[in-house]
A and B are shown apart, each in its own frame.
Chain A
Amino acid sequence: MSRMLRQLRPAGLIGLAILAFWLAMAAIGPAVAPHDAGAIVDMEVFLPVSAQFPLGTDYLGRDMLSRVLHGTRYTVGVALVAALIASGSGLMLGMCAAIWGGWVDGAISRTLDTLISIPSKMFALVVVAAFGSSVPVLILMAGIIYTPGAYRIARSLAVTVNAQDFVTVARARGEGTLHLAGAEILPNIIGPVLADFGLRFVYIVLLLAGMSFLGLGVQPPNADWGSLVRENMAGLYEAAPAVLMPAFAIASLTIGVNLAIDVLSGGRRAADER
């Protein structure tokens, strides 16, 4: 672990720092925000950046910093839970498919392949049209949409490890599925699986931000960063911070995760080649 930290390049450190910051804000954001998310703090709308309002004010004269901090939970938190659902079920199904093979593998793969033939945004729109866009629906929907992708990665990694002789030896010893999955396969695929988890988190952030931007994501009075961009679109023509800042927040989060992933898998690679 310490060796891995020492190998971090500055880009990776920055990525990890950004990620840690936003995760912390998802947990304590509302507590450290200077104002209430809904409080109108100034008569002037679309105020520029100032000492009083570090991110300006929005279209109703609310403090943008507070709104972004409150929104963190809806962007980071929702995406995190959805990504955990997607990667977790993908990983479990993938390892089962690899270990059991045969018709189990076939059945899981076929079912999830059908899901993959619906483009993600289309699936999201159809679900929202049918069930509305409450937070649980959004989480479950994003989780389901990205399960097949996580499954494909996990399965192909697990199949490669499963074919190796040490797994065959364990199998010939009579070991059960739990030992094969947990002790033999998982430790050998956890690096790429974590990297994939990060990617899936990014995809989900982008998907949900896009839905919110269309007004089909998190509903008022709550707002995630995508909704903040949407509601302040009127400020676009004066390049108000109210429309730019939430967008930058999304970009910083997703680019930060990407940088952190490169370090993660790069560090992994260096450790493996040693």
Chain B
Amino acid sequence: MTRPQLEVRDLEVRARNAAGEEVPIVERVSFALQKGEVLALIGESGSGKTTIALSLLGYARPGCRISGGTIRLGETDVLGLSRRALRDFRGRRVSYVAQSASAAFNPSRTVMAQVTEMALLHGTADRAGAERRAIELFRALALPDPERIGHRYPHQVSGGQLQRLMAAMALIAEPELVVLDEPTTALDVTTQIEVLRAFKDVVKGSGTTAVYVSHDLAVVAQMADRILVLRNGAMQEIGPTARILSAPQSPYTQSLLAAAAPVPRGADQPPAAAPVIAVQGLTAGYGRIGADGMPQIPVLRDIGFEIRRGSSLGVIGESGSGKSTLARVVAGLLPAAQGRVLLDGEALPPALAQRTPGQLRRIQLVFQSADTALNPRRSVGAILGRPITFFHGAKGAERDRRVKRLLDLVQLPAAVAERQPGELSGGQKQRVNLARALAAEPDLILCDEVTSALDTVVGAAILDLMDELRRELGLATMFISHDLHTVRAVCDEVMVLYAGACVEVGSRRAIHEAPWHPYTQLLVSSVPELRQGWLEERGSVRGPEVIGTDRPACAFFPRCSVALPGTCDRVAPPRRTLSKGADILCHREEADLLRAAIPAGP
């Protein structure tokens, strides 16, 4: 075996905590990488994966310090480099792709200036040469208009394109090692796959050695030759990707794998009960409402659904699809422009101020990030006590008793009532968040991305709890998520939103089966599967990357792989019922869609 390209031995990084003590956040991490190999660092938040990635460039964030071990790249001892030598080393021999390209690009300089900066700085090319190389990379990364995209400013380029431009920036000086830090986490799943494909082609094509940091096993399975599993700054196990996925040895890896492939909870068919909530012809948005009843900036168009007692509707869509707005409209925070919301068959006034306390009590919201969902200055007892007093008038000992019962319901110890939200873990906060909604004794709970900010394992436990509560208390839930896995795991019915329109709605079983609405199909086939080779098997179903100036009659028209020009962009698509039992919004016949459907796994 040849001498490895990169060798990390006994790496230790320390950070100063609030009390001013230095504590290790990475301990005794060792690994080696052969030339052309891709190693994945995988772990949840706080596992030290980004810290390790940054130390490969000889860098520690403010407040942190690389306190031990050695890092060798080629013949260079990275940690022994002088400040000056480190400047020549970074960018030239190791480069970095950050998680959020929109934050990592300087907003006041053109993309080209930033992409070529490293080559000019390190003298690997002159300006003309660097720009030529940049355009080659843009082309290799499948960026639209490679000749001219460099002249734009970062805000004029989409998120997925920026992420690819950052890869071009990292590769411009032809470094020996590229560090990719969660480069697709901030992207929508349908964008992620294009970016992954581009990364993989370029990295494999140029034989670059790479370290790929991620929390997502399915993504890593597509990219990495080997996987290193981290937890709390320590190594759990390291091995070839296939072995880690098929025969994980560490119990922690096993739990990660189990959480990554969630088992469906609940029934495949919604229970037969009266609908708690029914929404009909709902249109909402921001700005003045015009003569035609459309708001100036429409966000939702003609949405309709029902949720029965004890059942759960999943709402899925990418960022900007209007899914969070839907929850706000149902809760009354944003009055609808048109349409009706019926609670137990009785029409609700659109605006919050006109609803009765009883109506408000019966619909409760649970939000995404528990960090902003709980008032950091009030104790858990006060947070839970307020709705109890507000809706049920209970005070004193009765209130405390109810708070205790709620904590018990969400499986938290009674002592938590004395604590402030800041003293709780992410999972505990999300349980308190849920308990606050339950305190009102609602009929319907609107959950907006409740597990998105949590680590997979913790999130899975929350989903279990919610499923249990739903059945125990007979709650109806609307479950908003961008993650198809999550929605499939907990919902009886699934509604797919695209640009504010409901493009497909059906039972959970129906969402598993072809044919789909073309957008659902794109979504379903874009979710990475937990096996190697999936990315290579999956063909591109994406249409050309064009952004039209006018909104076409079917909003998905510009991205649709089976669009009918002249029809889809001019005539509003009809609603049709497919034989699998789902309604879709499309011009195409069922048979056409079936033909277009590519087998997308189980």
A–B proximity contact (CB within 8 A): yes
Q: Does A135 contact B (CB under 8 A)?
A: no
Nearest-neighbor residue (CB-CB) of B359 within chain A: A174
Question: Closest Cβ of chain B: how far from A164's Cβ, in Å?
Answer: 4
Q: Are A168 and B365 in contact (CB under 8 A)?
A: yes
Closest to A174 in B: B360
Determine the chain A residues whose CB is within 8 A of the CB of B363 once the complex forms.
172
Q: Which of A168, A172, A184 is B360 in contact with, Cβ under 8 Å?
A: A172
Query: B367 touching A175 by the CB < 8 A rule?
Result: no
Instruction: From the candidates A170, A174, A188, name the one contacting B377 in the complex (CB within 8 A).
Output: A188
Instruction: Give A175 to B361 CA distance when docked, in angstroms.
Output: 11
A166 adjacent to chain B (CB < 8 Å): yes
In the assembled complex, the Cα of A164 lies from the Cα of B421 at a distance in Å of 14
Partner of B436, one of A169, A174, A272, A274: A169
CA distance A168 to B373 in the complex (A): 8
For the residues of A in contact with B, the DSSP-based class is helix
**Pairwise interchain contact B357-A273, C-beta atoms closer than 8 A:** no
Closest A residue, CB atoms, query B391 = A173
Structural contact, A172 and B333, CB atoms closer than 8 A: yes
Partner of B352, one of A164, A166, A174: A174
User: A169: nearest residue on chain B (CB-CB)?
Assistant: B365
B332 interface contact, C-beta 8 A: yes
Shortest C-beta distance, A196 to chain B (Å), equals 18
- Given the known inter-chain contacts A173-B360, A173-B387, A175-B390, please indicate yes or no for A270 contacting B18, CB distance below 8 A: yes
Q: How far apart are B561's CB and chain A's nearest CB, in angstroms? A: 37
> What is the total number of residues of chain B having a CB less than 8 Å from a CB of chain A?
29
Check if B52 is an interface residue, CB within 8 A of chain A.
Answer: no
Closest to A184 in B: B375
Residues of B within 8 A of A270 (CB): 18
Task: Tell yes or no: A183 within 8 A of B by CB.
Answer: yes
Q: Mark B341-375, 1 if CB is under 8 A from A, else 0.
A: 00000000000100101001001110111001111
- A169 adjacent to B373 (CB under 8 Å): yes
B378 at the interface (CB under 8 A from A): yes
B374 adjacent to A166 (CB under 8 Å): yes
Beta-carbon contact of A164 and B372 below 8 Å: yes
Q: A166 to B375, Cβ gap below 8 A?
A: yes
Greatest chain B CB density within 10 A among A168, A172, A183 is at A172
Say yes or no for A187: interface residue by CB 8 A criterion.
yes
Q: For the complex, is A230 an interface residue (Cβ under 8 Å from B)?
A: no
A169 touches B367 (CB 8 A): yes
Q: Which residues on A sit within 8 Å (CB–CB) of B386?
A: 170, 183
What residues on A are CB-neighbors of B364 within 8 Å? Answer: 172
Query: Taking A172-B332, A188-B375, A188-B377 as contacts, is the C-beta distance between A165 and B355 under 8 angstroms?
Result: no
Within the complex, the shortest CB–CB distance from B549 to chain A, in Å, comes to: 31
Determine how close the nearest CB of chain B comes to the CB of A161; give it in whole angstroms. 9
User: Could you tell me if A274 and B422 are in contact, using CB atoms closer than 8 angstroms?
Assistant: yes
CB–CB B352/A171 < 8 A: yes
| Chain A CB within 8 A of B497 CB | no
Residues of chain B with a CB closer than 8 A to A169's CB: 365, 367, 373, 436
Closest to B372 in A: A164
Whether A174 contacts B357 by the Cβ 8 Å rule is yes
By a CB distance below 8 angstroms, the chain A residues around B378 are 183, 187
Given the complex, which residues of A lie within 8 Å of B390, measured CB to CB?
A: 173-175
* CB nearest neighbor in A for B376: A188
> Given the complex of chains A and B, what is the CA–CA distance between A174 and B387 in angstroms?
10
Q: Tell whether B331 is near chain A: CB-to-CB under 8 Å.
A: yes
Tell whether B221 is near chain A: CB-to-CB under 8 Å: no
Q: Determine the chain B residues whose CB is within 8 A of the CB of A274 once the complex forms.
A: 18, 422
Instruction: Give A173 to B390 CA distance when docked, in angstroms.
Output: 8
Tell me the smallest distance from the CB of A82 to a CB of chain B, in Å. Answer: 29
- In the complex, the answer to whether B355 meets A187 with C-beta atoms within 8 Å is no
Asked if A166 contacts B373 (CB within 8 A), the reply is yes
User: Which of A165, A184, A272, A274 lies at the interface centre, i.e. has the most chain B CB atoms within 10 A of its CB?
Assistant: A165
Does B440 touch A at the CB level, under 8 Å?
A: yes
The answer to whether A168 and B376 touch (CB under 8 A), given A173-B387, A175-B390, is: no
Nearest Cβ in chain B — how far from A167, in angstroms?
A: 8
Nearest CB in chain B: distance from A162 CB, A: 11
The distance from the CB of B79 to the nearest CB of chain A, in whole angstroms, is 28
Contacts of A175 in B (CB 8 A): 390
Find chain A residues with CB under 8 A from B377 CB: 187-188
A172's contact among B352, B372, B374, by CB below 8 Å, is which?
B352
For the complex, what is the distance from the CA of A186 to the CA of B470, rounded to whole Å? 35
Counting chain B CB atoms within 10 Å of each CB, the highest count among A169, A174, A188 belongs to A169
Distance, CA A168 to CA B352, complexed state (A): 12
Within B368-416, the residues touching A (CB, 8 Å) are 368-369, 372-378, 383, 386-387, 390-391
User: Which residue on B lies nearest to A269, using beta carbons?
Assistant: B18
8 Å CB contact of A171 from B18, B333, B436, B440 = B333
Please give, as numbers and ranges, the residues of chain B lying within 8 Å of A184 by CB-CB distance: 375
Taking CB atoms, residues of chain A closer than 8 Å to B367 are 165, 168-169
Q: Are A273 and B365 in contact (CB under 8 A)?
A: no
In the complex, which residues of chain A have a beta carbon less than 8 angstroms from the beta carbon of B355?
174
Q: Which residues of B contact A272 (CB under 8 A)?
A: 376, 422
Q: Which residues of B contact A166 (CB under 8 A)?
A: 372-375, 383
What residues of B have a CB within 8 angstroms of the CB of A273 in the complex? 18
How far does the alpha carbon of A168 sit from the alpha carbon of B387 in the complex, in Å?
14
Find chain B residues with CB under 8 A from A174 CB. 352, 355, 357, 360, 390
Residues in B whose Cβ lies below 8 Å from that of A172? 331-333, 352, 360, 363-365
The distance from the CB of B395 to the nearest CB of chain A, in whole angstroms, is 16
Contact mask A242-274 → B, CB, 8 Å, 1/0? 000000000000000000000000000010111
Identify which of residues 312-339 in chain B touch chain A, using a CB-to-CB cut-off of 8 Å.
331-333
Tell me the complex Cα distance, A171–B360, Å: 10
Which one of B18, B372, B422, B440 lies within 8 Å of A173 (CB-CB)?
B440
CA distance A172 to B440 in the complex (A): 12
Query: Please, what's the 1-or-0 string for A215-233, where 1 marks a CB less than 8 Å from any CB in chain B?
Result: 0000000000000000000
Among A14-54, those with CB < 8 Å from B are none
Q: What's the nearest-Cβ distance from chain B to residue A165, in Å?
A: 4
Residue of A nearest to B437 (CB): A169
Note all chain A residues with C-beta closer than 8 A to B383. 166
Alpha-carbon distance A171/B332, docked complex (angstroms): 10
**Given A172-B332, A184-B375, A187-B378, A165 contacting B369 (CB threshold 8 A):** yes
Task: Assess the B18–A165 pair: CB atoms within 8 A.
Answer: no
Q: What is the bound-complex CA distance between A175 and B386, given in angstroms?
A: 10
Determine which residue in B331, B372, B375 has the highest number of CB atoms from chain A within 10 A of its CB, and name it.
B375
* Bound: A171/B375 CA distance, A: 13
Task: List the A side residues contacting B436 at CB < 8 Å.
Answer: 169
Taken residue by residue from 179 to 190, chain A's Cβ proximity to chain B (1 for < 8 Å, 0 otherwise) reads as: 000011001100
In Å, the complex CA distance between A14 and B373 comes to 39
With the chains together, A184 CA to B375 CA distance in Å? 7
B368 CB contacts on chain A under 8 angstroms: 165
> Please, which residue of chain B has its CB at the minimum distance from the CB of A187?
B377
Shortest CB-to-CB span from B442 to chain A, Å, is 11
Chain A residues, Cβ within 8 Å of B440? 173
Whether B422 pairs with A165 at a CB distance below 8 angstroms is no
- Jot down 12 A-B pairs with beta carbons below 8 A, ordered by A: A165-B367, A166-B372, A166-B374, A169-B436, A172-B333, A172-B352, A172-B364, A173-B440, A174-B352, A174-B390, A187-B378, A188-B377
* 3 tightest A-B CB contacts, nearest first: A187-B377, A165-B367, A165-B373
Interfacial residues, chain B to chain A (CB-CB below 8 A):
18, 331-333, 352, 355, 357, 360, 363-365, 367-369, 372-378, 383, 386-387, 390-391, 422, 436, 440
Beyond A172-B360, A184-B375, A188-B377, 19 additional pairs, beta carbon < 8 A: A165-B367, A165-B368, A165-B369, A165-B373, A166-B383, A168-B333, A168-B367, A169-B365, A169-B367, A172-B331, A172-B364, A172-B365, A174-B352, A174-B357, A183-B375, A187-B378, A188-B375, A272-B422, A274-B422
